[in-house]
Protein backbone atom coordinates (compact mmCIF):
# COMPACT_ATOMS: atom_id res chain seq x y z
CA UNK A 1 0.00 0.00 0.00
CA UNK A 2 1.19 3.49 -0.86
CA UNK A 3 0.31 6.36 1.51
CA UNK A 4 0.85 9.99 0.50
CA UNK A 5 -1.32 13.10 0.48
CA UNK A 6 -0.19 13.97 -3.06
CA UNK A 7 -1.96 11.98 -5.76
CA UNK A 8 0.95 12.41 -8.17
CA UNK A 9 3.17 10.52 -5.71
CA UNK A 10 0.74 7.68 -4.97
CA UNK A 11 -0.04 7.27 -8.67
CA UNK A 12 3.61 7.46 -9.73
CA UNK A 13 4.89 5.02 -7.11
CA UNK A 14 1.98 2.65 -7.70
CA UNK A 15 2.61 2.62 -11.45
CA UNK A 16 6.32 1.98 -10.96
CA UNK A 17 5.72 -0.92 -8.58
CA UNK A 18 2.99 -2.37 -10.78
CA UNK A 19 5.68 -3.06 -13.38
CA UNK A 20 7.27 -5.57 -10.99
CA UNK A 21 5.91 -9.11 -11.50
CA UNK A 22 6.22 -10.01 -7.82
CA UNK A 23 4.72 -6.83 -6.30
CA UNK A 24 1.02 -5.95 -6.17
CA UNK A 25 -0.22 -2.55 -5.01
CA UNK A 26 -3.43 -3.41 -3.18
CA UNK A 27 -4.43 0.13 -2.20
CA UNK A 28 -3.42 3.77 -1.90
CA UNK A 29 -4.35 6.24 0.83
CA UNK A 30 -4.14 10.03 1.04
CA UNK A 31 -3.63 10.21 4.80
CA UNK A 32 -2.80 8.40 8.00
CA UNK A 33 -6.35 7.71 9.16
CA UNK A 34 -7.34 6.22 5.82
CA UNK A 35 -4.17 4.10 5.87
CA UNK A 36 -5.00 2.70 9.31
CA UNK A 37 -8.51 1.70 8.20
CA UNK A 38 -7.28 0.12 4.96
CA UNK A 39 -4.55 -1.83 6.76
CA UNK A 40 -7.11 -3.29 9.12
CA UNK A 41 -9.11 -4.59 6.14
CA UNK A 42 -6.36 -5.54 3.69
CA UNK A 43 -3.40 -6.36 5.97
CA UNK A 44 -0.76 -5.53 3.33
CA UNK A 45 2.71 -6.99 3.64
CA UNK A 46 4.39 -3.59 3.16
CA UNK A 47 3.25 0.02 3.48
CA UNK A 48 5.18 2.89 1.90
CA UNK A 49 4.43 5.80 4.22
CA UNK A 50 4.90 9.54 3.75
CA UNK A 51 5.71 11.51 6.91
CA UNK A 52 4.27 15.01 6.49
CA UNK A 53 0.53 14.69 5.99
CA UNK A 54 -2.46 16.69 7.28
CA UNK A 55 -4.48 15.49 10.28
CA UNK A 56 -2.09 12.68 11.21
CA UNK A 57 1.63 12.31 10.59
CA UNK A 58 3.06 9.23 8.96
CA UNK A 59 4.97 8.51 12.17
CA UNK A 60 1.77 8.28 14.24
CA UNK A 61 0.05 6.30 11.49
CA UNK A 62 2.98 3.88 11.48
CA UNK A 63 2.74 3.44 15.23
CA UNK A 64 -0.99 2.71 15.11
CA UNK A 65 -0.78 0.41 12.09
CA UNK A 66 1.93 -1.74 13.68
CA UNK A 67 0.11 -1.89 17.01
CA UNK A 68 -2.89 -3.40 15.20
CA UNK A 69 -1.11 -5.27 12.40
CA UNK A 70 2.31 -6.32 13.73
CA UNK A 71 3.07 -8.48 10.69
CA UNK A 72 2.89 -5.48 8.34
CA UNK A 73 6.18 -3.76 7.49
CA UNK A 74 6.24 0.02 7.14
CA UNK A 75 8.83 1.83 5.05
CA UNK A 76 8.93 5.60 5.35
CA UNK A 77 9.18 7.27 1.93
CA UNK A 78 9.71 11.00 2.30
CA UNK A 79 11.38 14.08 0.85
CA UNK A 80 12.94 15.06 4.16
CA UNK A 81 15.50 13.61 6.50
CA UNK A 82 16.70 14.82 9.89
CA UNK A 83 17.88 13.07 13.02
CA UNK A 84 14.65 13.54 14.97
CA UNK A 85 12.45 12.32 12.13
CA UNK A 86 14.58 9.24 11.48
CA UNK A 87 14.72 8.29 15.14
CA UNK A 88 10.96 8.84 15.55
CA UNK A 89 10.30 6.58 12.56
CA UNK A 90 12.53 3.83 13.94
CA UNK A 91 10.98 4.20 17.38
CA UNK A 92 7.52 3.84 15.82
CA UNK A 93 8.66 0.56 14.30
CA UNK A 94 9.37 1.51 10.68
CA UNK A 95 11.47 -1.11 8.90
CA UNK A 96 12.93 1.37 6.42
CA UNK A 97 13.51 5.05 5.79
CA UNK A 98 13.97 6.14 2.17
CA UNK A 99 13.96 9.38 0.21
CA UNK A 100 11.60 9.96 -2.71
CA UNK A 101 14.61 10.56 -4.94
CA UNK A 102 15.36 6.82 -4.81
CA UNK A 103 15.63 4.99 -8.14
CA UNK A 104 12.63 2.84 -9.09
CA UNK A 105 14.64 -0.40 -9.08
CA UNK A 106 16.02 0.36 -5.63
CA UNK A 107 12.53 1.16 -4.34
CA UNK A 108 11.21 -2.17 -5.62
CA UNK A 109 14.09 -4.01 -3.96
CA UNK A 110 13.43 -2.11 -0.71
CA UNK A 111 9.82 -3.33 -0.79
CA UNK A 112 11.04 -6.90 -1.23
CA UNK A 113 13.53 -6.51 1.62
CA UNK A 114 10.85 -5.06 3.89
CA UNK A 115 8.55 -7.98 3.11
CA UNK A 116 11.36 -10.27 4.32
CA UNK A 117 11.66 -8.20 7.50
CA UNK A 118 15.01 -6.69 6.56
CA UNK A 119 15.85 -3.10 7.40
CA UNK A 120 16.45 -0.66 4.55
CA UNK A 121 17.79 2.84 5.21
CA UNK A 122 18.97 5.56 2.87
CA UNK A 123 22.54 6.72 3.31
CA UNK A 124 21.28 10.01 4.74
CA UNK A 125 19.14 8.22 7.33
CA UNK A 126 22.02 5.95 8.30
CA UNK A 127 24.24 8.98 8.83
CA UNK A 128 21.79 10.39 11.36
CA UNK A 129 21.45 7.08 13.20
CA UNK A 130 25.22 6.69 13.32
CA UNK A 131 25.37 9.28 16.12
CA UNK A 132 26.07 7.27 19.25
CA UNK A 133 26.62 7.88 22.90
CA UNK A 134 29.98 8.10 24.68
CA UNK A 135 30.32 4.31 24.96
CA UNK A 136 29.25 1.40 22.81
CA UNK A 137 27.19 -1.36 24.45
CA UNK A 138 29.07 -4.57 25.12
CA UNK A 139 27.30 -7.53 23.54
CA UNK A 140 28.40 -11.10 24.16
CA UNK A 141 29.38 -13.26 21.15
CA UNK A 142 26.05 -15.09 21.43
CA UNK A 143 24.12 -11.82 21.58
CA UNK A 144 25.95 -10.69 18.44
CA UNK A 145 24.86 -13.93 16.75
CA UNK A 146 21.25 -13.33 17.77
CA UNK A 147 21.44 -9.69 16.63
CA UNK A 148 22.83 -10.75 13.26
CA UNK A 149 19.95 -13.19 12.73
CA UNK A 150 17.41 -10.70 14.04
CA UNK A 151 18.62 -8.13 11.50
CA UNK A 152 17.71 -10.58 8.73
CA UNK A 153 14.09 -10.50 9.84
CA UNK A 154 14.18 -13.98 11.36
CA UNK A 155 11.73 -14.94 14.09
CA UNK A 156 12.74 -16.18 17.53
CA UNK A 157 11.85 -19.73 16.45
CA UNK A 158 14.06 -19.46 13.35
CA UNK A 159 16.92 -17.95 15.37
CA UNK A 160 16.61 -20.77 17.90
CA UNK A 161 16.93 -23.34 15.12
CA UNK A 162 19.88 -21.50 13.55
CA UNK A 163 21.83 -21.25 16.78
CA UNK A 164 20.75 -24.52 18.43
CA UNK A 165 19.07 -22.67 21.28
CA UNK A 166 15.66 -22.95 22.88
CA UNK A 167 13.08 -20.25 21.94
CA UNK A 168 13.04 -19.19 25.59
CA UNK A 169 16.80 -18.61 25.58
CA UNK A 170 16.48 -16.57 22.40
CA UNK A 171 13.79 -14.41 24.03
CA UNK A 172 16.15 -13.71 26.91
CA UNK A 173 18.97 -12.79 24.53
CA UNK A 174 16.67 -10.47 22.54
CA UNK A 175 15.51 -8.76 25.75
CA UNK A 176 19.12 -8.29 26.85
CA UNK A 177 20.08 -6.90 23.44
CA UNK A 178 17.26 -4.36 23.48
CA UNK A 179 18.20 -3.28 27.01
CA UNK A 180 21.92 -2.95 26.20
CA UNK A 181 21.26 -1.01 22.99
CA UNK A 182 18.70 1.20 24.70
CA UNK A 183 16.10 0.60 21.97
CA UNK A 184 12.41 -0.19 22.20
CA UNK A 185 11.92 -2.90 19.61
CA UNK A 186 13.48 -5.44 17.26
CA UNK A 187 13.31 -3.05 14.32
CA UNK A 188 15.47 -0.50 16.09
CA UNK A 189 17.92 -3.26 17.02
CA UNK A 190 18.06 -4.33 13.36
CA UNK A 191 18.84 -0.75 12.36
CA UNK A 192 21.67 -0.72 14.91
CA UNK A 193 23.08 -3.89 13.37
CA UNK A 194 22.80 -2.39 9.90
CA UNK A 195 24.66 0.81 10.67
CA UNK A 196 27.38 -0.99 12.66
CA UNK A 197 28.02 -3.64 10.03
CA UNK A 198 26.55 -6.45 12.12
CA UNK A 199 23.58 -7.32 9.90
CA UNK A 200 23.53 -10.85 8.58
CA UNK A 201 26.92 -11.75 10.07
CA UNK A 202 26.04 -15.24 11.30
CA UNK A 203 27.84 -18.09 9.52
CA UNK A 204 25.42 -21.03 9.77
CA UNK A 205 27.78 -23.49 8.14
CA UNK A 206 29.95 -23.73 11.22
CA UNK A 207 28.05 -22.75 14.34
CA UNK A 208 29.77 -22.66 17.75
CA UNK A 209 28.36 -24.89 20.49
CA UNK A 210 25.34 -23.35 22.29
CA UNK A 211 25.54 -21.93 25.78
pLDDT at 54: 86
Query: Both 124 and 140 in a single domain?
Result: no
C-beta of residue 150 within 8 angstroms of C-beta of residue 159: yes
Cα-trace Rg, the chain = 17
Q: pTM of the prediction? A: 0.67
Which tens digit of pLDDT belongs to each residue from 4-32?
999 999 999 999 999 999 999 999 999 99
Of 129, 156, 183, which residue sits at a domain end? 129
Domain of residue 159 covers 133-211
Rounded distance between C-alpha atoms, residue 122 and residue 119, angstroms: 10
Of 97, 129, 161, which residue sits at a domain end? 129
Rounded distance between C-alpha atoms, residue 114 and residue 89, angstroms: 15
More confident of the two residues 124 and 80 = 80
The CATH number that applies at residue 199 is 1.10.10.10
Which tens digit of pLDDT belongs to each residue from 91-148?
888 888 898 989 999 999 999 988 988 878 777 766 665 544 434 678 888 888 888 8
Q: What is residue 96's three-state secondary structure? A: strand
Amino acid sequence: MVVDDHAVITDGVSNLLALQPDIEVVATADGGRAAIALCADLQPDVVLMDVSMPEMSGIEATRQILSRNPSTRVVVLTSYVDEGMVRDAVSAGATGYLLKSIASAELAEAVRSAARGQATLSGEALAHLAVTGPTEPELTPRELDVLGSLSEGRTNKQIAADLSLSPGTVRVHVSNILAKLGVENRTAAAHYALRHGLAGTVDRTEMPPPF
